[in-house]
A and B are shown apart, each in its own frame.
Chain A
Amino acid sequence: MMLYRMLLGQQLTKARILLITGFSVLAIVLALSIGAQVDPANRIESVIGFLSVYGLGFMVPILCLLLASSTLGQLVEDETLVYLWLRPNPRWQLALASWAAAATIALPTTVLPLTAAAAIGTGSQAEAVGATALSMALAAVGYTGLFTLIGLVLRRALLWGLVYIFIWELFVARAGAGAARLSLNTYPHSVLARLTDIELPLAERSMTAALIVPPAVAAVSVALTAWWLDRTEVA
């Protein structure tokens, strides 16, 4: 628990708080603006379309990348991992605590403002608000797991994470069905589309798969993080 608290304490820096605030305010302002400008008959579709692009395409993955990749990545960079690695704890505890610390910040800072944006934009349409909350939460859970692993394994994890988000998720995944299956983004998109009954790109997964895969990605990532911790060389 103390390990989790320590890792949690390292998450929120001034720069990150500013970025989270900026993303959140922009989401709400844009959702409000879209909701006000479009025809009421198309309002839900427009706002959900916007949230799928802005929320699932940019805000959630970028904030998760920023928070999760630094959890263990920062320890590697400033060479403090040695203080945790040399202790007789199971590696999975450190991996799980790292993911939990990132998710603890990422979940509320992405889900709450985007859900608020959905509520404001759609006039509190229950299905849209619920679908937004669930899809964003699933995305945040999956992405924090994935980026916690990337932060440990790769140098310049932030850069590689951005490459993944912008090249793979936004372009390659849209090129074909096979690539889309390997895109994490397709699963929360599917939840958002199926619960709101709105057609969205990439939303081709079954509801069951869409609900299972992001947490499974997080679990596998935590397991791989623990495995990597066991084999890595520590400075």
Chain B
Amino acid sequence: MTGLHPDTATPPAPTVAPPPWPPADASVVLKGVSKSFSGLVAVSDIFLALQPGVTALLGPNGAGKSTLLRLICGLARPSTGTVWVAGGNPRFDADVRARIGLVPQQDGVFESLTALETVELAARLSRLAEPRVEARRALALVELDPTMTRPVGTFSKGMRQRVKVAQALVHDPALLILDEPLNGLDPRQRHHLIELFAELGHSGRTVLVSSHVLEEVERFGSRVVVVAKGRLVAEGDYRQIRNLLNQQPHRIRVECDRPRAMAIGLMALEPVISCTVTDTGDRRLPPDRAPAGPLAAQADSTMSAPAVEVTTNDVAELRRALPVVAKRLDLTLSGVVPLDDDLESVFRYLVGGPPGGAQR
């Protein structure tokens, strides 16, 4: 289900009955959950249902992401509201906790144990029949050598992080909670773990990943939950969320052979707010002076196509009008590219600018 918090935008009036909430296949359901610490509200009135697959939890630093994850795991008690995981309460139901795997944000690990001992301890506490075998399997998943005799205390941050992921995976949990799981990892390891989490999501596990690196979040998938100032701001597919942000004009790049003429033509249209010619194409060399062979490709790659950047509050209407305008003015339309339906833009609109948290 895609939606915005009522404070964020007014979604169009529904024409059909809304789907039932929580969905039948939801493995995590939070109903009216709030959490305060000494009078300070960390999380406020959250209604959230998570289904199998990967969901990214986004929000600036201090937005309440970690508190929300702790509530889901049962590590913290909600001040109000209820948390249900796999039909039970994770705070008091050991069988529910057995189905959760958590990679906490903090760096702390059992410094004196080896990687194998750390993961084997987790396996034993999870009552697995063959803890050592399972520990080796989990370490292999994160590409760590189980025969290493060094204590985890001597590991680099990236290696510790992978030990934390391995202990979370060792009992093959149905719900995997990952709080900034890619911190300290090199690009290759990041790529590997992103693929691993995506694979777990595809195989029916519910994976909730908190991250403030938006580029990584986009690679996890398109389903996001956005929190800001302790409130759930939006949830669902971020592209659909963008479409619901009606009060935020859309920016579209229209590529054509004569952008000035296109800009003039578009300004006459009702849904168009402004037009900016970003590249007239004038700098391009005439065909008789243009470089040939490999140089041509190089020159093309360094020059953007002639284009006009259009701000509109009705993308659908603009898309319908564009071919009509192009035909009327005898222009050649070569591309229409949305400029702000990426995750970063959606995030910026929802929480008010690239925050101390979110980064690319």
Residues on A with beta carbons closer than 8 Å to the beta carbon of B97? 86-88
B150 within 8 A of A: no
B287 within 8 A of A: no
A177 to B125, CA, bound (A): 46
A27 to B260, CA, bound (A): 95
Nearest-neighbour CB distance to chain A for B156, whole angstroms, equals: 18
Chain A residue total in the interface (Cβ 8 A): 21
A234 to B92, CA, bound (A): 13
In the complex, are the beta carbons of A84 and B125 less than 8 A apart? yes
Closest to B74 in A: A86
Known: A2-B120, A88-B126, A89-B125. A83 touches B100 (CB 8 A): no
Nearest-neighbour CB distance to chain B for A234, whole angstroms, equals: 4
A166 within 8 A of B: no
A12 to B106, CA, bound (A): 24
Q: Of B109-117, B184-192, B213-221, B317-325, which stretch is located at the interface?
A: B109-117
In the complex, are the beta carbons of A86 and B100 less than 8 A apart? yes
A80 within 8 A of B: yes
Q: Of A3-11, A153-161, A214-222, which stretch is located at the interface?
A: A3-11
A168 within 8 A of B: no
In the complex, are the beta carbons of B121 and A6 less than 8 A apart? yes
Nearest-neighbour CB distance to chain A for B91, whole angstroms, equals: 9
In the complex, are the beta carbons of A88 and B98 less than 8 A apart? yes
A233 within 8 A of B: yes
A233 to B73, CA, bound (A): 11
A209 within 8 A of B: no
A9 to B110, CA, bound (A): 10
A85 to B125, CA, bound (A): 10
Q: Which of A153-188 contact B (CB under 8 A)?
A: none
Contact of B94 among A10, A83, A88, A234 (CB under 8 A): A88
Interface string of B84-95 (1 = CB under 8 A from A): 000000001011
Nearest-neighbour CB distance to chain B for A35, whole angstroms, equals: 41
A78 within 8 A of B: yes
Known: A79-B104, A87-B122, A90-B94. A234 touches B109 (CB 8 A): no
B102 within 8 A of A: yes
Residues on B with beta carbons closer than 8 Å to the beta carbon of A234? 70, 75-76
Residues on A with beta carbons closer than 8 Å to the beta carbon of B76? 233-234
From A79, A82, A85, A86, name the one whose CB has the most chain B CB atoms within 10 angstroms. A86
B19 within 8 A of A: no
B108 within 8 A of A: yes
Known: A2-B124, A3-B125. A86 touches B73 (CB 8 A): yes
A235 within 8 A of B: yes
Interface string of B1-31 (1 = CB under 8 A from A): 0000000000000000000000000000000
Interface string of B60-97 (1 = CB under 8 A from A): 00000000001001111100000000000000101101
B312 within 8 A of A: no
Q: Which of A1-30 contact B (CB under 8 A)?
A: 2-3, 6, 9-10
B348 within 8 A of A: no
Residues on B with beta carbons closer than 8 Å to the beta carbon of A82? 75, 102, 104, 106
Nearest-neighbour CB distance to chain A for B165, whole angstroms, equals: 13
In the complex, are the beta carbons of B110 and A83 less than 8 A apart? yes
Closest to A1 in B: B124
A residues near B (Cβ < 8 Å) are 2-3, 6, 9-10, 78-80, 82-90, 230, 233-235
